């Protein structure tokens, strides 16, 4: 893969300029330069997947299980803006359309107790904590009234099992957000998978740019 090579990423997908990455520093795609020497063909190099919930600046990925266990996403206005269980590309695009191009992943103690992975985020100091939604909003610098209203509205949606505005399924809303303290972590999309690579036959024979086996 080449997710940690920003120049190569932008070469194949210019709209990803400036994105961070979840990849290790060695994911720089060196092999793609090697095969140019003997005319090796590449395929689907622009197929690059982003992960929507990555901590800006450090590449630490917040697992999708946090959302799966009941967390919601809010913007800097304190509002939800899409189904939290949308596919990675849809969620990434939705976040980039928000003020500041990041959002906050929000959950309560109930979600925290349901998922062991969250304890790792606590130890890494990634979470902002507030005893109430209003207290958390104040720490985040977002409108407390809107944020508290969003939490209350989501709890009603969760109880009814009907997310009429964004379409999150009842099975994707396993618990309400009613048990303080409340937590948030700022997240945004980052490059996660580069799916393209060297073009081969079904027998794993490398093809050149003319379609011939090398």
Of 67, 76, 80, 88, the active-site residue reads 88
Helix (H) and strand (E) counts for the chain? 8, 8
CA-wise closest residue to 187 among 98, 12, 61 = 61
| Known active-site residue 67 | no
How far is C-alpha 154 from the chain's CA centre?
Answer: 21
* CA 45 vs CA 39, 54, 130: distances in Å: 16, 23, 44
Cβ contacts of residue 137 below 8 Å, gap of 6+? 78, 130, 143, 144, 146, 147, 148
Buried b (16+ CB within 10 A) or exposed e, 1-16: bbbbbbebbeebbeeb
Cβ contacts of residue 110 below 8 Å, gap of 6+? 70, 175, 176, 177, 178, 179
Which residues are annotated as catalytic? 88
């Amino acid at each position: 893969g080449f997710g940690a090579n920003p120049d190569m990423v932008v070469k194949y997908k210019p709209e990803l300029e400036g994105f961070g990455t979840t990849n290790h520093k060695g994911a720089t795609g060196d092999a793609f330069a090697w095969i140019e020497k003997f005319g090796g063909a590449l395929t689907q190099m622009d197929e690059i997947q982003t992960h929507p919930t990555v901590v800006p600046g450090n590449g630490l990925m917040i697992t999708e299980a946090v959302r799966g266990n009941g967390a919601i996403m809010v913007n800097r206005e304190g509002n939800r803006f899409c189904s939290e269980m949308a596919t990675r590309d849809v969620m990434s695009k939705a976040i980039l359309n928000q003020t500041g191009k990041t959002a906050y992943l929000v959950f309560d103690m109930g979600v925290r107790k349901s998922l062991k992975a969250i304890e790792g985020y606590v130890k890494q100091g990634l979470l902002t904590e507030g005893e109430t939604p209003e207290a958390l909003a104040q720490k985040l610098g977002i409108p407390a009234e809107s944020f508290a209203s969003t939490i209350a509205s989501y709890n009603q949606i969760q109880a009814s099992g009907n997310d009429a505005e964004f379409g999150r399924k009842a099975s994707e809303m396993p618990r309400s957000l009613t048990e303080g303290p409340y937590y948030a972590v700022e997240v945004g999309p980052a490059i996660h998978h580069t799916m393209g690579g060297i073009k081969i036959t079904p027998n794993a024979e490398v093809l050149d740019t003319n379609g011939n086996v090398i």
